[in-house]
Amino acid sequence: MAKNPNKIKEGSVIADVIFYILAIFFAFITLYPMYYVLILSLSDPNAAASMRVFLWPKGFYIGGYKNIITDRNLWLSYRNTIFYALASCGLMLITTTMCAYPLTSKALRGRKFLTFFLLIPMYFNGGIIPSFLLIQKLGFYDTPWAIILPGSVSIWYIILVRSYFRTIGESLREAAMIDGASHYRIYANLFIPNSKAIIAVIALYTIIGQWNSWFQALIYLPNTYWQPLQLYLRRLLILQNSSLESVMNLSAEALEEMAKEQLSNNQLKYTVIFISTLPMLVTYPFFQKYFVKGVMLGSLKE
């Protein structure tokens, strides 16, 4: 029987097996650190402290989760982080897309100069001290605005969105203007609906960046009422280390009680790390379908 030359040839079974093994291996080394923190938070404090936990929890301990439920400071910092992430994300999308839209118009005078002017702050900035003085003079010190407003503009995102907007085509803009559409209508009804991929990428980057940020809050927010979740984790680690330094001249009973408290703090640390990372793990799948497309088109096409 003659072979059909148009038949699609299947790949090698050995190659498929190797690729599956590699995919499983890389998935394991990617997910295991998070899984390890989870099983540590659920293990017996003594087993977790001695690092005898590897594949599944040893014992069962949910004291850390019970402490979290009743910890008002944790949920307050959690609320602050969510507020900062959503507010910065919304403002970032508005400023980025509204600045990028006119830069794609050939009718804009001085377009090259404006683009060059925007590139300067990407490579040069005043530093921490001028930024601190500016925040203080504006009256934003020890307020949420000190975190939200500096994180609401990014020159790199403006350039990225401008490059993506150029892929939409000038002919569509001209056709809309012939039909009588204003620039606002073209921006809102033409460019934004066709730019979901790059908007999703910027939203994800902004949320993750704000979620993991702690240094700005350390400088601008001395009041713990407005501090984000990452500073709560920092305080937790500092409290744990300082407690280790205060063991001098303690009685045996006090040392035993302190050791138990230290074990409890360790469990709380693992629990808080898992709880603080969980929202990002849940959020990413909703942006995944836009992620690769937005990054590639926005960065490679001009």
- HEC assignment per residue over 160-186: HHHHHHHCCCHHHHHHHHHCCCCHHHH
Averaged over 204-219, what is the pLDDT? 88
pLDDT at 246 over 70: no
Instruction: Tell me the domain boundaries of the chain.
Output: 62-300
Which range, 22-36, 118-132, 240-254, has the best average confidence (pLDDT)? 22-36
Can you spell out the DSSP letters for 227-290?
--HHHHHHHHHHHHHHHHT--TT--HHHHHHHHHHHHHHHHHHHHHHHHHHHHHHHHHHHHHHH
Q: Which residue has the higher pLDDT, 29 or 106?
A: 29
- Please check whether residue 46 is in contact with residue 263, taking contact to mean a CB–CB distance below 8 angstroms: yes
Q: What band does 241 get if pLDDT is binned at 50, 70 and 90?
A: low
pLDDT at 86: 92
Q: Are 144 and 178 within 8 A, CB to CB?
A: no
pLDDT reported for residue 255: 47
pLDDT digits (tens, 9 = 90+) for 61-116: 777 777 777 778 888 988 999 999 999 999 999 999 998 888 887 777 888 888 88
Q: Go through 50-85 and write b for each residue having 16 or more CB atoms within 10 A of its CB, e for each that does not.
A: eeebeeebbeebeebbebbeeeeebebbbebbbbbb
Structurally, at CATH architecture level, domain 62-300 sits in: Orthogonal Bundle (1.10)
Give the pLDDT confidence of 248-267 residue by residue, as tens digits. Answer: 554 555 545 555 555 566 67
pTM of the prediction?
A: 0.76
Query: Burial level of 16, CB count in 10 A (0-12/13-18/19+)?
Result: exposed
Share of the chain above pLDDT 90, in %: 11
